[in-house]
Amino acid sequence: MGVPVIGDGERRARLGRRQLLAPSVRAARVEDVADAVVGLHATDAATVYLSACARLAEPSAAEVDRALYEDVSLVKLLSMRRTIFAVTEGLAPYVSAGAARAIAAKERATLLKHLRDHAEGWDAARLAETEREVLAALAVRGEATTQELGRDVPQLRETMLMSAGKAYEAKQSVGSRLLRLLASDGHVRRCRPRGSWLSSSYPWALVPQWPEVPVREAKAEVVRRWLGAYGPATVEDVKWWTGWTLGDVRAALADVGARGVALADGAAALVLPGDEGPVAAVEPWAALLPALDPAVMGWRGRDWYLRSEDVPALFDRAGNAGPTVWWCGEVVGGWAQRADGEVVWRLFRDVGVEAERAVAVEAGRLAGWLGEVRVTPRFRTPLERELVAKG
């Protein structure tokens, strides 16, 4: 028998069902959403809320707050591709061991070099002692901002002059870098922001230490989850999404017993064992997904859901995706929110009356739960700027 072929239509059906984008498969809890996409992009605070609510049967910022700050069942980790992801507490030990800790080691080495080059009296011993003092201060306070911790640990208030003599030279506080390092190492977490859920001002709290997981086992579990949500995918897709070496990717794929399939263009791809067949179809669906949503940022090879001619309007120069409009598994346009709260969009081509009506319904649903909140993506793209400017 030949290698099973999984065409573009089947891939789009999987996307709608497995990533909870069709209305009939939307979730009740945000933890189910995070697991469905493996992790919610969290570099931009708004993305977690917008991505989750696009997949919730009853969208609510309060539901996301509950998971992040009350139950702490979602944890933000600097992990795959040095990107911040919000993952469930069940997956967090695997993401930490498989990705975050290696990044934390590099972050620590980089910070130590910057301290030696741009600050006075720093070495590895002083950095380690400062970390211990911060953790001790947090144990007493319960939670505190970086500024508040600076009152207990004065070293945090010291600064490093970066890019000295350049037009873009700037002072960076030791505290801002050190707390980020402790977070990526799994010692602290961000608490509820001081302000709205869009605020970037937040306190920190200690994180209970997760069980130890061997690195190879952890990487295999991350890949198993990812293939279940995003497969079929090429080796290059897996390498791009994880940010791992090719050797680590191949080892993890072997550990999960990945099976070979062919894509519509004949390219070799992989799925989990037993996942070579078709999935049950879902109803036609539309979605307004935010900048950096897991769906648009899920694969390196995007031709099966995104036309190359639409990329310049929807991505910034660094490759960050802006807000996108989807119809049945394809990106068909982009959207934005104007200052008066109106959600506006543009379709790149004629997708039919049914699609246009469905997009309008989703725009109303989005505007409804946002209410008085105004969202501006952290990484702005040409179409988003243009749509806002015309308001």
Q: Determine the average pLDDT of the residues in 362-391.
A: 94
Q: Which tens digits make up the pLDDT trace of 228-269?
A: 999 999 999 999 999 999 999 999 999 999 999 999 999 999
Q: Which tens digits make up the pLDDT trace of 20-65?
A: 999 999 999 999 999 999 999 999 989 999 999 999 999 999 999 9
Cis peptide before 232 (omega within 30 of 0): yes
Q: In terms of DSSP bridges, do strands 259-263 and 268-271 run parallel, antiparallel, or are they unpaired? A: antiparallel
Where does the chain have alpha helices with state H?
A: 8-18, 30-36, 45-54, 61-65, 92-95, 101-118, 124-141, 146-152, 174-184, 215-230, 235-242, 246-255, 311-314, 353-370, 382-389
Task: Output the pLDDT for position 105.
Answer: 92
pLDDT band at 391 (very low <50, low <70, confident <90, very high): low
Percent of the chain's residues with pLDDT above 70: 98
Residue 171 reports pLDDT greater than 90: no
Q: In terms of DSSP bridges, do strands 5-6 and 259-263 run parallel, antiparallel, or are they unpaired? A: parallel
Q: Which tens digits make up the pLDDT trace of 70-110?
A: 999 999 999 999 999 999 999 999 999 999 999 999 999 99
pLDDT band at 6 (very low <50, low <70, confident <90, very high): very high
pLDDT band at 118 (very low <50, low <70, confident <90, very high): confident
Task: Output the pLDDT for position 161.
Answer: 75
Residues 121-127: contacts with CB within 8 Å, 24+ apart? 126/155, 127/178
Q: Determine the average pLDDT of the residues in 326-340.
A: 97
The end-to-end CA distance of the chain, in Å, is: 57
Higher-confidence residue of 1 and 178: namely 178
Q: Which two tokens stand for residue 276?
A: 């070579």
Q: Which two tokens stand for residue 108?
A: 């620590």
Q: Which tens digits make up the pLDDT trace of 303-332?
A: 999 999 999 999 999 999 999 999 999 999
pLDDT band at 375 (very low <50, low <70, confident <90, very high): very high
Task: Output the pLDDT for position 1.
Answer: 61
Residue 367 reports pLDDT greater than 70: yes
137 vs 307: CA distance, rounded Å: 52
Which residues does 156 contact at the CB level (< 8 Å), separation at least 6? 130, 134, 146, 149, 150, 173, 174, 175, 178
Taking the mean position of all CA atoms in its chain, how far away is CA 27?
A: 18
Task: Output the pLDDT for position 194.
Answer: 83
324 vs 50: CA distance, rounded Å: 12
Q: Which tens digits make up the pLDDT trace of 206-215?
A: 998 889 999 9
Q: Which tens digits make up the pLDDT trace of 279-296?
A: 999 999 999 999 999 999
